[in-house]
Structure 1
Amino acid sequence: MKKTFDSNLNKKEKHLLQKLNISSLSNPVEFDFRRDTKHLSKILKNSSIDRRLDLEVILEFLSSYNCEQRLILIHGLEYEYSYKLIDLVLLQPESPIRLCTLALLVESIELYVRDFHDLLLVARTDSNSNDITRKLLETLLGLNNNDTQKFKEIYEHLLKTSVDNDIKEAHGAKSIISRLFIALLDGKRYEVPAHSMATAKIIARQLHEAREGTSDIDYDSLIQIFTHDGFPQLSSIFDTYEDKYGRSINEAIGYEFKDQVATYCFQDMVEYTRSPSGYYSKILRQAFYDVPVDYRTLIRIIIGHQNKDLCEIKLEYSKIYDETLEQTIEDRIDIVEIKQVFITIMEKAKNLMPNELRKSRQDRKNKIDSSSLGTSPTAIGDKNSSKHRSHEAFKKLAHLFKLKRPH
């Protein structure tokens, strides 16, 4: 029988949070994919009526697992019980809970792909929307070169079209925004964590001369600088320009671009370059205080960055706004089930303490020599840890099922 939830929001919230507190204090149960997959199949069997799922129950169940465990459960559910949970969730009416449930069923890059496509559909009706275009940019900025390749492959596999074509349809084939997004997805950024002061001085001087009207920098050159230069190099360019010429780099960008949307996008890239965690903190804050709450953005960042840089975002958020991310979630999220998921994720992020975070950063830095490719500021782990997570999960599942691994 389908579970009936208490209509009283306060009682319901208290019950869920009590369960969360109890589970967080008790010893974690070892992950048993066969047992847990069977339990999930029973939830689906008992909660589905005429293909309508009780997403609240499913969401609560999934929130206690990490990304790899969830992917193993999804593969096991399909293999042993013939449930294609992602397809079943997509059949449900659109809602924040459906968005959140789907986000827990896929790897982060697929989450970005689905959001990017949905935002592009909105952009087609209003290609000049600052808000939508900046969200599209935010979705792409955290991708390193390997991620962009996966992003394009997943996009084409899911949607049977290339992301480049959809970008051009939404923003125009020759627009600055289309060229910027396509360049970001080309995955040609120089990812070695080093920079050249000589190069920074040359580009800073060119920007200054363009601002003074004594020379020009064409848009394609600017796009190449912002999408090909490494983030340390970009940061050096911005600092050199401001230190030497006494003007804000954002002011120079505003002068260079007459298009307001393009101006905001390039200024956002400056902000991201200087502080990725500060950039995401600002976006989260705005999403919390939008009316109505922007659940899509919150889900994309909190769940999408769970295994990447959420701990850093949490720390920066508390510094900027003088309150923890958990406090804002408690105060602003009005859907109890989503609040529970977010708080559970926040609790797990606490396991990575600041000293461990610094050690992790140093370990990554030590693994990169002067001739190797590194990762973008938001990437966690070296290139060996950036494998397709769903592929890794499937390999684990195949081993557990004693299946022959495909070549």
Structure 2
Amino acid sequence: MTLPTPDFARNMRLIGHSDQGGRPDALQVMVHRGYAYVAHPWSQGFSIIDVRDPKNPGETVFVPAPPNTWNIHLQTHDDLLLVIHARDLFADAAFAVDEKVYYTKSVGETVGTAAGGRSARNWSAGVAIYDIANPTAPRRIGFFPVEGVGVHRIWYVGGRYAYVSALIDGYSDYIFVVIDLADPTKPVEAGRWWIPGMHLAGGETASWPDGRRYALHHALVEGDTAYACWRDGGLTILDIKDRTAPKLLTHRNWSPPYGGGTHSALPLPKRDLLVVADEAVLDHEEDGRKLTWIFDLREPSNPISIATLPVPDEADYTVKGGHFGPHNLHENRPGSFQSDTLIFATWQNAGVRAFDISDPYRPKETGALVPAGPTRMVDKRQGRPPVIQSADLFVDANGLIYSTDYNAGLSIIEYGG
């Protein structure tokens, strides 16, 4: 198999590639028991790729989504696969022409679900739960329904509870919801939390200005604490000892003066550190330079930013086209590669990056690979540039990096160490 030649590589090497069965678009990726589970933003469904030989990915199995529904995020643990169901917003007329609408306005208000009350809908909303004892033949065993647009992203690493961002009728945008999976065939809601001002049907009004989007991207949970990123609403740290009644410990927001888009939080509890990535959401850094922050968490009620990760600078990525800046972090999931000092991240048109934060005040980039651009565009939005937009990544227990793109397939990368 001839591999596409990366645009740039330093201390990383492309060892495998898959076009994902002819559906090269993907957002989240999980690698579980030798199979990559990829969630498609445009192909409406998810795929399972045999990567037991990572240099020669094998057969791909595609599982279609219901009509008008996207499956853009998913999670695997033991014999369970959780897949989000939500309205396909990028196919919606409100978002298809100008992506800025999606990132700068409340989704609930844009699509008309924020006022509350059930509206006619032709999509599936919630979380589908599959048994994957047979990895390539997922068997749906349960469904957690949502009355609204649906679910965006999940955190599930086993045990009784899953944690999702859900856009429910009556709320302006996605909020934090705890799902009780004591019986995975009959999941139920355990609790919810939102930033005050989001529950419009409850009489709340937003305290933030127009053009700012307060919406939970997702939360990572460590023990009884949830670290939640709210796009332009910043970071909240929640006490979830009582899953039925999450409580706010602290709320930090550095937007303004910075450009918002707070997206991914990675707690490093052994070192009392928290890494937080702000997503670049507009082309040519129109939304400003986005950064990945390192916080000192010795006093959880008062997180202090002590450094930011270096910004890729070996090329002029601002003018390259597409988004330049952070997107996702490898999340140290059980069974994957775990480190308190080595951070892996996607940087969109600047590809995949590795950072050594042994000294958290002086983080260093220690590896990079910018995959080749797509050979064809799957992205249905108008006028998108044909450049790499590395979206998500998963680092397996052996240290191999699996990275997705909106159009360019699955890259399998070896880090030089």
Asked if TM exceeds 0.5, the reply is no
The higher-RCO structure (CA 8 Å, 6+ apart) is: 1
Tell me which structure has the larger Cα radius of gyration: 1
- Structure whose residues are more often helix by fraction: 1
